[in-house]
Amino acid sequence: MPLLESHGTEIIVADLDTDIREGDAGLRTIVVRFPSTEAARGFYESDEYGAIRHFRTDNSTGTLVICDGLD
């Protein structure tokens, strides 16, 4: 959490019991808002996240995506 907060994020959704109705999804859904797409890419490419990325990739079958929000 402190690393996310240091990149100006806001957690929009953190659902540990996702009610999947269509398509494929994991059992958990987490949506995080960054100030900009560039900020999200900066977080992902940061040395700080790089040092802990393996915790997510080693323990998750989920997908991480960066996309633009709606204005």
Per-residue pLDDT tens over the stretch 40-70? 999 999 999 999 999 988 987 778 899 988 8
Looking at residues 23-37, what average pLDDT do you find?
Answer: 86
Domains and CATH numbers, the chain: 2-59 (3.30.70.100)
Determine contact, residues 66/41, Cβ cutoff 8 Å: yes
Intra-chain end-to-end CA distance of the chain, in Å: 26
Residue in the block written with tokens 């806001």 = 10
| Euclidean distance between CA atoms 28 and 16, whole angstroms | 5
Residue 58 CA to its chain's centroid (Å) = 15
pLDDT band for position 24 (50/70/90)?
confident
Where residue 68 falls (left for φ over 0; alpha for ψ -120 to 50; beta otherwise) is beta
